[in-house]
Every structure is written in structure tokens, then in C-alpha cells.
């Protein structure tokens, strides 16, 4: 039974905060949500959603350019970037309006303002209209998200041609050249967008591989595809400094022990994000944190009774779907139920062309943990649907425990990988084995057949591939 009428204050209206607010309201809570900007947070306004609109536009352009291969006579005369940006903004607005509607439907009071702690149970809010309000008592859920990290590279802060992901979503024109510092998720997604729109893209990544947390074999395939499409990629390359140049910016890089210079019209700085908790005055409430990253337990409780924290402000896995689930967990606990967060089934989804998704352990993780495992790979070249959709580029890889053949991880590079991964997350959540995947009948012709074939390949009985 939940504590009906419990007062709940949520700070931050992104996919963590607004979901927490709705869940608390569903359970009978009297909920107030404080948001300083627009509801929907980074995800809806300057993150997941607008990026995906640009990616969709870029993919449409690529499809149109290849339509002739299928006998469709398309004469692509170019694109209207302003219209692309307008579409991006209209999709974001539509979704934000939807969240506003959900707040009203769930009787959640929304305050447009900035909150800070004055004690362990009191928040002081400076509202957008200049008025102030003090909120006390009740349960508090912190969901203030993250902001782009600025690396201490000399020249970055001072150079107007250096932008972050928010800036990259609203460039007035397509740049002729773009250098991206950081080959992580943001780096590769923007590389995919702008290279498809004709920008000369260069990625500089400090570590030996792009997307360091993703499955290595598939990351190498993606890198290959990106390089073939004209993107220049330098790994084990460290940016030393940025200077002005007539083109825009000159970026000095240490690569393989030597100095190398690049010039680009724009420099996208994508070296990670940091927890956005500075303005909260966590010390006044006595909330434990590591350099601003709030510490919580599996119930999303901080060390201070009645204060919870969720999502990017924990500085751990910065994904909208993680924040939302943690929001539900925090709200349920705040309302007197018992809930806990388990990240075992978190899918990682990267919206490149082709898409890249993974859930569970990578082969590298299994090795590091000393787990005995086997793998099964299935190339999408042998999957009819993939062949139609993107010429069969990509692969599915499953990682299984050696003794019991339980599914430890599944990784997919290919069209719709970010959708197909849901089946694999469910399989891992239900502790399924290879048998379960194989016994499940997958429709033909679909991309999902490739997941089953990868499982068959682990047993060396794949039907549409030569088993080695």
C-alpha cells in the first residue's frame, strides 16, 4: 500500500524527473515538479530526440541518393537545412507539449524555477518570473541531469568555433569541415549526421578504440564503415591545444608520438558529460557526493532520509531510459512501496548508420571477469531483410556462458539494431539460455532472424552461414 497524499517534490523535469512525478502521482502523491527550463530535459530538447530527427533526415537523404538502385527515379537536388532544423524543433515541441499535458492530467504542480537546498528538508526556489518560494517537508527526488564536460584543453573555452552537442544541433549552416574531440556516443552520432550531409568529418579519440564500452569486434566493423564513408578517425590521439585559424580552428594533436595539426570550421567537443548538481547546494542538505555525482543505493536513496536521486546527476550510466526506470523506483519508494533498481538489462543504443546496440556483457567484459564463454556471430549479409535495407552491412554477436549456455550479452550492428535489442534485453532479464532463443520462432523475413541465427552459430548449426 502506498502512502496516499504523501507530498513529493521532484527537482528536474527530464525523462528521470517527469517520469518520477507521474509515477508518484499515480500512487496518490501530491506532486510538485520544479524545472528551470523546458519539460523533457536534455533528452527531448537538446539530446536524444532532436539528434534522432537530424539522423533521420540524414538517412532519408542517403536513401534518396540510393533510390535509383531500386529502380526509383529520384533526382536529389539538395536539401533545405533550415527546414531540417524546423522539423527538429517541431518534433521536440510536440513531445514537450505532450509532457505538459501529462502533468496536467496527473494533477502535478509544475513550477518554472531553479531549486536549491537550504537544509535537509527545505528547498528554496527562484522562479522564472522573479518571485521566490520555499518548499518544505515531504519527499524530495533530485533529477537535475548532466551538462557537457569542458576538457582542460588550452584554447577550447576561448574559441567560438568550439561547440558542444547543443550547439551542434542548431548550426545555422552545414559546416564544410568538423573536427570532433571524443569518439564516444555523441562523437560518432554527430559524425554520422554531418558526414551524410556532406561535411568533411575528423574524429580524434584518446583511447585505442572508438566507443570504448561497446563490443570491440562490432566497433571495429563500424569504424571500417565510417572510414569507408569518408570520415577520418584517429585513435590514441590526444588533443593538446586549440588555436584560431582562418578556417575556424586549428587543433594540435599528439598522434603516435608526433605532433599533427588539423584545421576545421567547427570543433565539436564531446568528451563526456558531468552531473549537473552545482546549483543545488548539496552541502546544505548534507547529501554525500563524489565531485557533484550524488551517491545512492539500489533504492535510489541518498544518505539523507527522504531524499532520492536518479539519472545523469548520479554521474554513472547517462541514458534516458535508465533515468526513467530509476525515477519509477525512487517514486515508488518515496510513496512507501518497496522497489529497487537493477541495471542488468540496460541496452546501449547508438544511432549511427547502421545502428549499433548491445546489452549485457561484451566479449572484453567476459574476458576481464574471467568468465568461460563461447560466442556466435551471424553476418547480416546472409539476412534477406538486411540485404534489402542496407546491403547486408553488419553483424549479430551473442556471448554465452560456456557450461550452461546462458545468454550473457548480445550485440548488434545493423539496421534497426536499437529496436531488435529489446528481445535480447528481455532474454537476459529472464535468464534465458541459447535454447530459449533457438526455440522461439522468429518471423521471416525479418532482421530478428539474425539473432536466432547467431545463437545457432554458437552451436555451429547456423542454417544460412558456413559453420566454422
Residue 275 Cβ vs ligand NAD, minimum distance, rounded to whole Å: 11
Assess whether 464 carries a catalytic annotation. no
Of all residues in the shown chain, the one whose CB is closest to ligand NAD is 184
Cell 554521474 found at:
315
Per-residue buried b or exposed e for 154-188, using 16+ beta carbons within 10 Å of the residue's own CB: ebbeebebbbbbebbbebeebbebbbbbbbbbbbb
CB of 42 or CB of 390, closer to ligand NAD = 42
Residue 120 Cβ vs ligand NAD, minimum distance, rounded to whole Å: 29
Contacts 24+ apart (CB under 8 A), 90-97: 91/49, 91/50, 91/53, 92/40, 92/44, 92/45, 92/49, 92/50, 92/53, 95/40, 95/44, 95/49, 96/38, 96/39, 96/40, 96/44, 96/45
CB of 39 or CB of 214, closer to ligand NAD = 214
Nearest in space to 332 (alpha carbons), one of 25, 24, 17: 24
Q: Exactly one of 56, 298, 442, 444 is catalytic; which is it?
A: 444
Residue 164 Cβ vs ligand NAD, minimum distance, rounded to whole Å: 9
And the C-alpha cell for 104?
496536467
Cis peptide before 445 (omega within 30 of 0): yes
Cis peptide before 226 (omega within 30 of 0): no
CB of 112 or CB of 235, closer to ligand NAD = 235
Residue 225 Cβ vs ligand NAD, minimum distance, rounded to whole Å: 17
CB of 31 or CB of 275, closer to ligand NAD = 275
CB of 308 or CB of 351, closer to ligand NAD = 351
Write out the residues near ligand NAD by the rule CB under 6 A: 151, 181-187, 189, 204-207, 212, 238-239, 270-273, 318-319, 349-351
Kindly tell me the burial class for residue 137, based on how many C-beta atoms sit within 10 Å of its own C-beta (0-12, 13-18, 19 or more): exposed
Q: Reduced to 3 states, what is the DSSP secondary structure of residue 45?
A: helix
CB of 97 or CB of 170, closer to ligand NAD = 170
And the C-alpha cell for 139?
519527499
- Write phi, then psi, for 62 (nearest 5 degrees): -65, -40
Q: How far apart are CA 396 and CA 356, in angstroms?
A: 10
Residue 229 Cβ vs ligand NAD, minimum distance, rounded to whole Å: 19
Residue 51 Cβ vs ligand NAD, minimum distance, rounded to whole Å: 7
Q: Which residues contact 88 (CB under 8 A, 6 or more apart)?
A: 50, 53, 54, 57, 169
**Consecutive H or E run containing 423:** helix 417-429
CB of 84 or CB of 318, closer to ligand NAD = 318
Residue 357 Cβ vs ligand NAD, minimum distance, rounded to whole Å: 9
Would you say 206 and 355 are in contact if contact means Cβ atoms under 8 Å apart?
Answer: no
CB of 59 or CB of 189, closer to ligand NAD = 189
Residue 204 Cβ vs ligand NAD, minimum distance, rounded to whole Å: 5
Q: How far apart are CA 400 and CA 397, in angstroms?
A: 10
Half-sphere exposure of 55 (CA within 13 A, CB side): 18
Q: How far apart are CA 370 and CA 407, in angstroms?
A: 16
- Residue 364 burial (CB count, 10 A): 17
The size of the chain, in residues, is: 468
Q: Which residues are catalytic, by number?
A: 444
Amino acid at each position: 500500500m502506498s502512502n496516499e497524499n504523501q507530498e513529493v517534490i521532484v527537482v528536474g523535469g527530464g525523462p528521470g524527473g517527469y517520469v518520477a512525478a507521474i509515477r508518484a502521482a499515480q500512487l496518490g502523491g501530491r506532486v510538485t515538479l520544479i524545472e528551470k527550463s523546458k519539460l523533457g530535459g536534455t533528452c527531448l530538447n537538446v539530446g536524444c530526440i532532436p539528434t534522432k530527427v537530424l539522423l533521420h533526415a540524414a538517412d532519408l537523404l542517403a536513401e534518396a541518393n540510393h533510390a535509383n538502385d531500386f529502380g526509383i527515379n529520384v533526382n536529389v537536388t539538395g536539401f533545405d537545412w533550415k527546414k531540417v532544423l524546423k522539423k527538429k524543433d517541431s518534433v521536440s515541441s510536440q513531445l514537450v507539449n505532450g509532457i505538459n499535458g501529462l502533468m496536467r492530467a496527473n494533477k502535478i504542480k509544475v513550477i518554472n524555477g531553479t531549486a536549491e537546498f537550504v537544509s535537509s528538508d527545505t528547498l528554496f526556489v527562484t522562479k522564472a518570473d522573479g518571485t521566490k518560494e520555499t518548499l518544505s517537508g515531504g519527499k524530495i527526488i533530485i533529477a537535475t541531469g548532466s551538462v557537457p564536460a569542458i576538457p582542460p584543453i588550452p584554447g577550447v573555452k576561448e574559441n567560438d568555433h568550439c561547440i558542444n552537442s547543443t550547439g551542434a544541433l542548431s548550426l545555422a549552416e552545414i559546416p564544410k569541415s568538423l573536427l570532433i574531440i571524443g569518439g564516444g556516443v555523441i562523437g560518432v552520432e554527430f559524425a554520422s549526421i554531418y558526414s551524410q550531409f556532406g561535411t568533411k568529418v575528423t574524429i580524434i579519440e584518446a583511447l585505442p578504440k572508438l566507443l570504448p564500452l561497446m563490443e570491440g569486434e562490432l566497433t571495429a566493423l563500424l569504424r571500417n564503415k565510417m572510414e569507408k564513408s569518408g570520415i577520418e578517425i584517429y585513435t590514441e590521439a590526444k588533443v593538446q591545444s586549440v588555436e584560431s585559424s582562418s578556417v575556424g580552428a586549428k587543433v594540435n594533436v599528439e598522434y603516435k608520438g608526433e605532433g599533427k595539426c588539423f584545421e576545421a570550421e567547427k570543433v565539436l567537443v564531446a568528451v563526456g558529460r558531468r552531473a549537473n548538481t552545482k546549483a543545488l547546494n548539496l552541502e546544505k542538505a548534507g547529501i554525500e557526493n563524489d565531485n557533484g555525482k550524488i551517491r545512492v543505493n539500489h533504492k535510489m536513496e541518498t544518505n539523507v532520509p527522504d531524499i532520492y536521486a536518479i539519472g545523469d546527476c548520479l554521474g554513472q550510466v547517462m541514458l534516458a531510459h535508465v533515468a526513467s526506470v530509476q525515477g519509477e523506483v525512487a517514486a515508488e519508494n518515496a510513496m512507501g512501496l518497496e522497489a529497487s533498481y537493477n541495471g542488468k538489462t540496460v541496452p546501449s543504443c547508438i544511432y549511427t548508420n547502421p545502428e549499433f546496440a548491445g546489452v549485457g556483457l561484451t566479449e572484453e567484459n567476459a574476458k576481464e571477469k574471467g568468465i568461460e564463454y563461447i560466442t556466435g556471430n551471424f553476418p547480416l549479409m546472409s539476412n534477406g531483410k538486411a540485404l534489402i535495407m542496407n546491403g547486408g552491412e553488419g553483424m549479430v554477436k551473442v556471448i554465452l556462458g560456456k557450461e550452461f549456455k546462458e545468454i550473457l550479452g548480445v550485440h548488434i550492428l545493423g539496421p534497426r539494431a536499437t529496436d531488435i535489442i529489446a528481445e535480447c534485453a528481455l532474454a537476459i532479464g529472464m535468464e534465458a539460455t541459447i535454447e530459449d532463443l533457438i526455440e522461439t520462432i522468429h518471423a521471416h523475413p525479418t532482421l530478428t532472424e539474425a539473432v536466432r541465427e547467431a545463437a545457432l552459430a554458437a552451436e555451429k548449426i547456423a542454417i544460412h552461414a558456413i559453420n566454422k
